Amino acid sequence: MLQVEIEKLPSFLMGQQQGIEKGETKRALIIAKRLIKKNIPLEEIAEITGLDITELNTLQRFQIQLITKKYQNNNMAGVQALPARAGKACTPAIIKTA
């Protein structure tokens, strides 16, 4: 029977290297997110993490969207829309309930 040492196969080594690179990129993104939250300039973050400035711009926009959405959700908790009056123009009115 043919015995093959999997660790020596080129495809195994290539897959292993790709896994390591993915892990390094993931770690760099985690660090970049933390630095963005601390308002570190993107140029410095790129230098520290090795990530491309374009990736960091995208990440920063995404972080801002998440924060904005979270803020809106928190502010809308306990808010209820008033029913429209018959025959009146429908402008939404909002009252805080709790």
How many Å apart are CA 28 and CA 59, to the nearest integer?
Answer: 12
How many Å apart are CA 33 and CA 46, to the nearest integer?
Answer: 12
Domain ranges of the chain: 10-74
Residue keyed to tokens 């999997």:
6
| pLDDT tens digit sequence for 49-98 | 999 999 999 988 888 777 677 767 766 555 444 444 444 444 444 444 54
pTM of structure: 0.55
CB 46 within 8 Å of CB 58: no
| pLDDT tens digit sequence for 32-58 | 999 998 999 999 999 999 999 999 999
Query: Which two structure tokens, joined as six digits, stand for 9?
Result: 């196969």
**DSSP H stretches of helix in 1-98:** 10-37, 42-49, 53-76
- Which candidate, 62, 27, 33, 74, places its Cα nearest to that of 42? 33
* Residue type, position 64, single letter: I
